[in-house]
């Protein structure tokens, strides 16, 4: 397996930046391999380049079940092009907010246009967990985190708890 990368935690400014378009280059292919290794090691079901310190519109994900064969997907410049009217609520977590989980309502189905690692145009339609993951990762490319969908009270509670948890970890 490829080498892993350190994951940035809130409040790293990179997590609030807008990421730049990427081209299908060898560097981006190498980065996507390292991101997949980082995501699987975490473990997580998705990872966006800003979470590993690269302000690029690059996402990796794998929502396959634990007992199923791996199904890595790499998306360059993903964009949501259609969403269902119906919403689904599920509990989300984020590798950049370790230990924090909250219910988030999002469109149940999304269609996403992106480029593959060879630069080819692709589309993927996802529902359920895949839809939530696609939207969560694309949000990262725009500096948006799942806690932004919570009430300010709940968000601030999370942020204070996270700061405390991370300080405790540093001081240990």
- Catalytic positions, please? 137
Of 131, 140, 147, 158, the one binding ligand GNR (CB under 6 A) is 140
Nearer CB in complex with ligand GNR: 93/143: 93
What is d(CA 1, CA 82) in angstroms, rounded to the nearest whole number? 35
Tell whether the torsion through CA atoms of 136, 101, 153 and 83 is positive or negative: positive
Residues of span 34-73 touching ligand GNR by CB under 6 A = 44-48, 51
Position closest to ligand GNR via CB? 44
Query: Which residue from 137, 141, 158, 162 is in contact with ligand GNR, where contact means CB under 6 A?
Result: 137
CA distance 12 to 10: 5
Count interface residues toward ligand GNR (CB under 6 A): 16
Residues 53, 133, 122, 78, CA torsion sign: negative
The binder of 132, among ligand GNR, Ni ion, none, by C-beta within 5 to 8 A per type, is ligand GNR
For the chain, the first-to-last Cα distance in angstroms comes to 30
Residues comprising the chain, all counted? 172
Chain contacts with ligand GNR (rule: CB under 6 A): 44-48, 51, 92-96, 132-133, 136-137, 140
């Amino acid at each position: 397996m490829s080498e892993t990368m350190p994951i940035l935690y809130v409040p790293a400014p990179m997590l609030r930046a807008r990421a730049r378009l990427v081209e299908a280059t060898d560097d981006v292919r190498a980065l996507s391999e390292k991101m997949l290794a980082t995501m699987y090691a975490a473990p997580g079901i998705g990872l966006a380049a800003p979470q590993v310190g690269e302000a690029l519109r690059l996402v990796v994900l794998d929502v396959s079940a634990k007992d199923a064969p791996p199904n890595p997907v790499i998306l360059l410049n993903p964009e949501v092009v259609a969403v269902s009217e119906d919403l689904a609520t599920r509990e989300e977590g984020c590798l950049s907010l370790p230990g924090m989980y909250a219910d988030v309502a999002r469109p149940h189905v999304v269609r996403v246009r992106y480029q593959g690692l060879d630069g080819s145009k692709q589309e993927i339609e996802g529902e359920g967990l895949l839809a939530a993951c696609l939207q969560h990762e694309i949000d990262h490319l725009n500096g948006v985190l799942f806690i932004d969908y919570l009430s300010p009270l709940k968000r601030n509670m999370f942020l204070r708890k996270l700061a405390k948890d991370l300080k405790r970890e540093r001081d240990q």
